[in-house]
Amino acid sequence: MESTQNKTRCPHSKKCGGCQLQNLDYKEQLAHKERTCIRLLGKFCRVEPIIGMENPYHYRNKVQAAFGTTRAGRIISGIYQSSTHNIVAVDSCMTEDEIADRIIVDIRRLLRNFKMTTYNEVTGRGFLRHVLVKRGFQTGEVMVVLVTGTPIFPARNNFTRALLKLHPEITTIIQNVNDRYTSMLLGQNEKTLYGPGYITDILCGLRFRISAKSFYQINPVQTEVLYGKAMEFAELTGKETVIDAYCGIGTIGMVAAKKAGQVLGVEVNRDAVRDARENAKLNRVKNIRFVCADAGNFMVDMANAGEHCDVLFMDPPRTGSDTAFLSCALTLAPRRIVYVSCNPETLARDLNFLTKRGYRAEKIQPVDMFPHTDHVECVVRLDKMN
Ligand SMILES: C[S@@+](CC[C@H](N)C(=O)[O-])C[C@H]1O[C@@H](n2cnc3c(N)ncnc32)[C@H](O)[C@@H]1O
């Protein structure tokens, strides 16, 4: 009988805790996720077989590493041990982009060469806290964000030059200052040290600009599968008024705009909305506009103004949506809701609300966006009952 152990079992797994399913082979992981979806969502309608990846390794286009110094004075970089601020030294990870991992290792080496320090969260002293790397898998463009505890960057130009010499594939370098005692990775202030301050990537045939603080799906291969299902479920004919709620940089709305009358995107993150507006221009999409607002407040305003919507796409964060949003969605009464979710538990809660108030779940499609972890993405089609 074939072993159920994953052949590339990770040496850091016990301390890191990020890949909860890495001891199962990939087929078993998919079966496990499918069972979770059926347990949580099966009461709403049939759950389709999960769509997995052909190559479920190094799929993450966004990699972040915490930097610190051991008691012996050695600089380390890696991942926080789950639920702690202890850094587990990791140079490569089976889920992360390999180019991004190599850049982070070289930044660590450069710190030593430049005699630069790492930030100490307890004393509030020191320089480098985190490094964030984002790579456009289609374009090859690479963003490096150096998150520092202080705005003062002594050897800035020489450091930037040395990094670019080692990694000419880097297209932009940003310094982000985060001097607060917080678990948030990025601070408010950022300064572009090299390049345009953003990268672009191509998804579903469209080009998207991505800033440091904007959300972009971390597995672009499966995102195309996910969005493909979302569009299939929406069954747009070219005439509809569509809302893309929690729209990020406008990806779902822009794909939908090709087949809709008009699209309105709403997103709370200002940088993401700026990206979304630029993305509409970049792709010459004229039938879309974006509003920077809390999605719940936006829906209340839409409902109060008696606005109309045929199809509502919603893709909230892991916490799911809220009652203000869902109640006003009922008032707007779109004939179809396409709900994209990265958390089947909050999805079940929100489906419970909607299916008790006039909507029926017609299709549920799990997509594996996060191999080796226990996270699973789903797209659901809900139709309004007459
Ligand atoms: C899971 S992401 C989805 C983004 C986009 N649909 C995509 O596929 O790339 C959720 C987005 O919701 C935004 N968000 C979180 N809370 C929000 C709120 N209360 N109102 C509007 N947007 C919110 C986040 O900034 C993030 O961009």
For the segment 160-173, what is each residue's pLDDT rounded down to a tens digit? 999 999 999 999 99
Largest separation between any pair of C-alpha atoms in the chain: 69
pLDDT score for 3? 38
pLDDT score for 98? 97
For residues 126-135, give the mean pLDDT: 97
Average pLDDT score, the chain: 95
Residue 355 has pLDDT above 90, yes or no: yes
- Looking at CATH, the fold of the domain delimited by 26-55+219-384 is given as Rossmann fold (3.40.50)
pLDDT band at residue 1 using 50, 70 and 90 as cut-offs: very low
User: Can you give the C-alpha Rg of the chain in angstroms?
Assistant: 22
pLDDT band at residue 224 using 50, 70 and 90 as cut-offs: very high
Binding site membership of 255 for ligand 1 (Cβ less than 6 Å)? no
pLDDT score for 156? 96
Task: Supply the residue whose CA is at minimum distance from atom 25 of ligand 1.
Answer: 269
Binding site membership of 268 for ligand 1 (Cβ less than 6 Å)? yes
Q: Is 123 helix (H, G, I), strand (E, B) or coil?
A: coil
Report whether 267 belongs to an annotated binding site. Answer: yes
212 C-alpha to ligand 1 centroid (Å): 15
For residues 236-250, give the mean pLDDT: 98
Task: Supply the residue whose CA is at minimum distance from atom 13 of ligand 1.
Answer: 246
pLDDT band at residue 357 using 50, 70 and 90 as cut-offs: very high
Comparing CA positions, the residue from 233, 206, 201 lying closest to residue 378 is 233
Q: Which atom of ligand 1 is nearest to the CA of 227?
A: 8
* 10 catalytically annotated: no
Catalytic entry in 10, 328, 342, 378? 342
How do residues 37-75 score in pLDDT, each as one tens digit? 999 999 999 999 999 999 999 999 999 999 999 999 999
How do residues 315-352 score in pLDDT, each as one tens digit? 999 999 999 999 999 999 999 999 999 999 999 999 99
56 C-alpha to ligand 1 centroid (Å): 25
Residue 5 has pLDDT above 50, yes or no: no
pLDDT score for 139? 98
Pull the structure tokens for residue 360. 């029926």
Q: Model-level pTM?
A: 0.95
Instruction: State the Cα–Cα distance between residues 198 and 282, nearest whole angstrom.
Output: 14
ipTM for the predicted complex: 0.99
Task: Supply the residue whose CA is at minimum distance from atom 18 of ligand 1.
Answer: 294
For a mutational test of ligand 1's pocket, the pick from 246, 247, 273, i.e. the residue with the most ligand atoms closer than 8 A to its C-beta, is 246
For residues 96-125, give the mean pLDDT: 95
Binding site membership of 294 for ligand 1 (Cβ less than 6 Å)? yes
What is the rounded (10 degree) CA torsion for 268, 272, 275, 279?
A: -80
Q: Contact at 8 Å (CB) between 290 and 280?
A: yes
pLDDT band at residue 8 using 50, 70 and 90 as cut-offs: low
Task: Supply the residue whose CA is at minimum distance from atom 11 of ligand 1.
Answer: 246
Binding site membership of 267 for ligand 1 (Cβ less than 6 Å)? yes
Q: Which atom of ligand 1 is nearest to the CA of 266?
A: 21
Q: Which residue has the higher pLDDT, 384 or 6?
A: 384
pLDDT score for 95? 95
For residues 166-192, give the mean pLDDT: 94
pLDDT score for 9? 74
Q: Contact at 8 Å (CB) between 288 and 263?
A: yes
Q: Specify the CATH number for 62-203; select among 3.40.30.10, 3.50.50.60, 2.40.50.1070, 2.130.10.10.
A: 2.40.50.1070
Binding site membership of 215 for ligand 1 (Cβ less than 6 Å)? yes
Comparing CA positions, the residue from 135, 148, 122 lying closest to residue 219 is 135
Find tokens 């469209």 and name the residue.
Answer: 206
Q: Which residue has the higher pLDDT, 83 or 140?
A: 140
Binding site membership of 201 for ligand 1 (Cβ less than 6 Å)? no
Residue 82 has pLDDT above 80, yes or no: no
Residue span(s) of the chain under CATH 2.40.50.1070 come to 62-203
Report whether 217 belongs to an annotated binding site. Answer: yes
